[in-house]
Chain A
Amino acid sequence: DVKVTQSSRYLVKRTGEKVFLECVQDMDHENMFWYRQDPGLGLRLIYFSYDVKMKEKGDIPEGYSVSREKKERFSLILESASTNQTSMYLCASSTRARWRGGFTDTQYFGPGTRLTVL
């Protein structure tokens, strides 16, 4: 079974702190994703990576950065946490299944990190 783990289930930080959220997958997946989930807003893509050291902005990258130094690990960084970044953060990974000239496949999710910024 694919396993995606996230470093913390719950995290409480103070405004202005630098926050690291870690995600590790054990299935050699090329793609990794970071989402935030807020009530009524569904999942919104923050950043994704399709290879080591490669990253692309998603729909809401402001205030976030990412790092992917190894294939299995994808980190989300909040440079200076703010209260509006209080949310559930979900990491996911997928293969790059080739389909009609592009790539797509099932995403496998971690359990999430509920971050509270005070």
Chain B
Amino acid sequence: AQSVTQLGSHVSVSEGALVLLRCNYSSSVPPYLFWYVQYPNQGLQLLLKYTSAATLVKGINGFEAEFKKSETSFHLTKPSAHMSDAAEYFCAVSEGTNAGKSTFGDGTTLTVKP
């Protein structure tokens, strides 16, 4: 069975500082992994996804994530936070079942201080 754990429900950084949002997964097969972002009063949108090609995945808005099989992790980073990065971030895992379902983490709210 697939599952996702996001460490830290709230993360606060200063503008210009490194952003690190943590995600650990559990999967019985090599997984598909996603990061989604949700801005206030909006639905989720894809930031980036890992599909077993390169382990370092680059996404939109300067975000990237590294797949580490030995650590079962897929942490999201951005070198320099911007005020517009304030949002809720969700990690998701899919095992490629016939249904095409993903399992989502509980989310991490990122606050960016001026």
Q: Which residues of A are interface residues toward B (Cβ below 8 A)? A: 4, 31, 33, 35, 40-43, 45, 48, 50, 56, 58, 90, 92, 94, 96-97, 99-112
Contact = CB atoms under 8 A, between A and B. Distances in A.
A105 B105 contact: no
A48 B101 contact: yes
Contacts, number: 78
B104 A109 contact: no
A50 B100 contact: yes
B9 interface: yes
**Interface range on chain B (Cβ under 8 Å from partner):** 20 to 34
Nearest to A110: B43
Contacts of B29: 100
Interface of B: 9, 29-30, 32, 34, 36, 41-46, 49, 51, 90, 94-102, 104-107
B106 A42 contact: yes
14 contacts: A33-B101, A40-B9, A42-B105, A43-B107, A56-B99, A94-B100, A100-B29, A101-B96, A102-B95, A103-B96, A103-B99, A104-B97, A105-B100, A109-B45
Contacts of A112: 41-43
Interface of B is mostly: loop
A45 B100 contact: no
Nearest to B6: A42
Nearest to A109: B43
Given A42-B105, A43-B104, A96-B100, A104 B94 contact: yes
B102 A104 contact: yes
Given A43-B104, A48-B99, A112-B42, 16 more contacts: A31-B100, A43-B44, A45-B101, A58-B101, A94-B100, A100-B29, A101-B96, A102-B95, A103-B98, A104-B95, A104-B102, A107-B44, A107-B46, A108-B46, A110-B43, A111-B41
